[in-house]
């Protein structure tokens, strides 16, 4: 082994959840090491976020300098998160979200974030601003920070995690981690899809290695697709700028390839809520994909967005806040600014943006595997079948508690050295694409898998396509993954080698999500089956929990965790149930 690192708590992930977990654990007095797959504070999903932080308006109004709606309450937020989640939420985690949010916002303000705008129960800042604040705090409390380190697998002993095998991306050296506890905060698995809104480092490594080590996964069929994402030109592809602008500016015009304003054929109330609140992700993505599947889509599988009857002055006002000088996340959008002024359309569509399922945790953020905790997007969280409230809040409140609980566990656990044979076996498997003299190009296989995932596991699904996709993935796993070979045999910053290592994780998660989507014979939230178009509260108010079983896996139903809000009954057509959930919102205004 090239290098050995010993720590009390190992945090896997360099986004907001990871940094907040590391800070929380370090404040308990234990040694904490954070392994970031990319550059510190500039990888993961957080830097790409808009970014909004949500909490109950009454608590927000009690923070100096913030307005907030004093008539809002934790009870109203509880109602709104659970109805927006179509009642599939873990209600204990919803309560934790609401309870911890005010403290986390006070911390962020104290640590130096800049608030751009706010509404009744939300402040709007930037993802990079949040990461900069967390990085400063992590350094101040003494977290050991490692960048460009990817974790390959966890090592266990007697039902507990005791270490991990890592890879230094810059040097190609292997690293043996010895630890008492691990907090998995590796975010989503956006890279399994194309197009995507996420960073290219979000390949699902944490979920896959946690699952292989013995932790359960849950509700993997629920995948949120962001609407109004740029599909062209290539330099803009994947940017959510049109989504953010359309939401903040309050509308715009969406048309199909025939020039039809296709939202006009839906229920007016659903459209009104579905374009002016964050219900837009599920509703507009669904409506967009219906146009595409009916042959009325754009060349790249989307539709067209223009500002419509939104005044240019309003667009300029919003753009000044979200993309000064028409630069958004380092992308030059000045040409788009001119197109908006001229009311010219751009090609937009749906892209994988958030993963509602993940590692199954309890309200202490412990997984099934002793010593393994999870927080943020890689955990099965509070949002059930549909997320409308902010993921930024989720990552911070869960990170804080997961880090704190992991540190408490580590204070009584012992450091154990992982077995030599286990580490050498993992190392040898990781080196196979480098050793193989001839084989398949990892990047080419990846792109085929990504595009097939978008097509078959997108906003609209059916049995025939899911079964075909399952067969395709099985073939990739059996015939292609064992034959991946890198052209370059260098170990130093070899992106091709990383592609090969990540591809196995992505295929594993896609297979689990596909079978989970096949089993769930209903439509709910962001999971729509055109062959099963009813929301079935009698049979399907359960979580799909996935565990390893021999060489495969088994999926078993688990009742929804309920603390205060009773579950509905009956079967309802999908869009009718969506409208009912929209109408169940409290009287608090805003985008959430």
Pairing of strands 9-12, 32-36: parallel
The encoded tokens of residue 536 equal 């079935």
Closest CA to 167 of 146, 185, 182, 139: 146
342/308 Cα distance (integer angstroms): 10
C-alpha 385: how far from its chain's center?
A: 13
What is the pLDDT, as a whole number, of residue 379?
Answer: 98
Q: State pLDDT tens for residues 400-449.
A: 999 999 999 999 999 999 999 999 999 999 999 999 999 999 999 999 99
Q: What is the mean pLDDT of residues 222-238?
A: 96
Least confident of 313-322, 428-437, 467-476: 313-322
458: Cβ–Cβ under 8 A, 6 or more apart, which residues? 225, 289, 350
Q: What is the mean pLDDT of residues 160-176?
A: 98
20/113 Cα distance (integer angstroms): 14
What is the pLDDT, as a whole number, of residue 44?
Answer: 87
576/584 Cα distance (integer angstroms): 12
Residue 365 near residue 24 (C-beta atoms within 8 A): no
Tell me what the pLDDT averaged over the chain comes to: 96
Q: State pLDDT tens for residues 517-537.
A: 999 999 999 999 999 999 999
CB atoms within 10 A of CB 588: 21
Least confident of 137-146, 173-182, 241-250, 478-487: 241-250
Q: What is the mean pLDDT of residues 69-83?
A: 97
pLDDT bracket for residue 112 (50, 70, 90): very high
Q: Does residue 326 register a pLDDT over 90? A: yes
Which is more confidently placed, 579 or 381? 579
CB atoms within 10 A of CB 96: 21
pLDDT bracket for residue 258 (50, 70, 90): very high
What is the pLDDT, as a whole number, of residue 199?
Answer: 81
pLDDT bracket for residue 2 (50, 70, 90): confident
Q: What is the mean pLDDT of residues 72-77?
A: 98
571/511 Cα distance (integer angstroms): 28
Q: State pLDDT tens for residues 195-215.
A: 998 888 899 999 999 999 999
What is the pLDDT, as a whole number, of residue 104?
Answer: 98
What is the pLDDT, as a whole number, of residue 45?
Answer: 85
CB atoms within 10 A of CB 507: 24
Q: What is the mean pLDDT of residues 257-284?
A: 96
Q: How long a stretch of residues is the chain?
A: 592
Q: What is the mean pLDDT of residues 216-228?
A: 97
pLDDT bracket for residue 250 (50, 70, 90): confident
Q: What is the mean pLDDT of residues 56-73?
A: 95
323: Cβ–Cβ under 8 A, 6 or more apart, which residues? 241, 245, 333
Cis bond upstream, residue 136 (ω within 30): no
Closest CA to 8 of 406, 418, 423: 406
């Amino acid at each position: 082994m090239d290098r050995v690192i010993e720590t009390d708590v190992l945090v896997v992930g360099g986004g907001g959840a990871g940094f907040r977990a590391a800070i929380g654990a370090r404040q308990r007095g234990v040694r904490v090491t954070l392994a970031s797959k990319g550059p510190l504070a500039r990888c993961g999903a957080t830097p790409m976020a808009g970014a909004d932080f949500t909490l109950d308006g009454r608590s927000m109004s009690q923070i100096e300098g913030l307005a907030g709606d004093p008539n809002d309450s934790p009870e109203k937020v509880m109602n709104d998160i659970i109805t927006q989640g179509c009642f599939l939420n873990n209600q204990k985690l919803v309560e934790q979200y609401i309870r911890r949010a005010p403290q986390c916002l006070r911390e962020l303000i104290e640590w130096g974030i800049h608030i751009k705008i706010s509404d009744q129960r939300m402040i709007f800042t930037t993802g990079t601003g949040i990461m900069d604040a967390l990085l400063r705090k992590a350094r101040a409390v003494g977290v050991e920070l490692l960048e460009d380190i990817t974790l390959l697998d966890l090592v266990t002993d007697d039902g507990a995690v005791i270490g991990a095998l890592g890879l230094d991306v810059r040097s190609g050296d292997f690293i043996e981690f010895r630890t008492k506890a691990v907090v998995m905060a590796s975010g989503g698995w956006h890279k399994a899809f194309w197009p995507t809104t996420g960073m290219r480092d979000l390949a699902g490594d944490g979920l896959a290695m946690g699952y292989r080590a013995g932790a359960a996964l849950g509700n993997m069929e629920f995948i949120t697709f962001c609407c109004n994402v740029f599909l062209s030109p290539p330099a803009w592809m994947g940017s959510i700028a049109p989504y953010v602008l359309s939401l903040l500016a309050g509308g715009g015009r969406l048309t199909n390839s025939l020039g039809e304003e296709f939202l006009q054929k839906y229920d007016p109330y659903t459209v009104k809520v579905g374009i002016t609140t964050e219900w837009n992700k599920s509703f507009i993505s669904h409506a967009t994909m219906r146009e595409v599947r009916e042959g009325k889509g754009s060349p790249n599988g989307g539709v067209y967005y223009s500002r419509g009857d939104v005044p240019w002055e309003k667009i300029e006002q919003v753009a000044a806040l979200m993309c000064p000088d028409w630069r958004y996340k380092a992308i030059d959008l000045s040409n788009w600014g001119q197109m908006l002024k001229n009311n010219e359309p751009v090609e937009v569509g749906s892209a994988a943006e958030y993963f509602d399922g993940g590692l199954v945790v309890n309200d202490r953020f412990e997984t099934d595997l002793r010593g393994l905790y999870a927080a943020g997007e890689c955990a099965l969280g509070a949002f059930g079948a549909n997320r409308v409230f902010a993921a930024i809040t989720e990552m911070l409140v869960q990170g804080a508690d997961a880090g704190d609980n992991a540190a408490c566990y580590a204070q009584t656990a012992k450091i154990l050295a992982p077995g030599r044979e286990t580490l050498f076996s993992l190392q040898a498997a990781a080196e196979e694409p480098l050793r193989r003299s001839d084989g398949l190009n990892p990047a080419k296989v990846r792109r085929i898998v990504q595009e097939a995932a978008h097509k078959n596991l997108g906003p609209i699904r059916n049995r025939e396509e899911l079964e075909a996709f399952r067969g395709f993935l099985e073939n990739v796993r059996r015939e292609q993954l064992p034959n991946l070979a890198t052209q370059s045999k260098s170990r130093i910053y070899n992106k091709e080698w990383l592609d090969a290592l990540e591809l196995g994780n992505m295929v594993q998660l896609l297979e689990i999500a596909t079978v989970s989507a096949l089993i769930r014979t209903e439509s709910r939230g962001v999971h729509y089956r055109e062959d099963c178009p009813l929301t079935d509260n009698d049979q399907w108010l359960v979580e799909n929990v996935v565990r390893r079983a021999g060489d495969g896996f088994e999926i078993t139903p688990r009742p929804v965790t309920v603390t205060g809000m009773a579950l509905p009954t009956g079967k309802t057509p999908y869009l009718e149930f969506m409208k009912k959930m929209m109408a169940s919102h409290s009287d608090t205004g805003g985008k959430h």
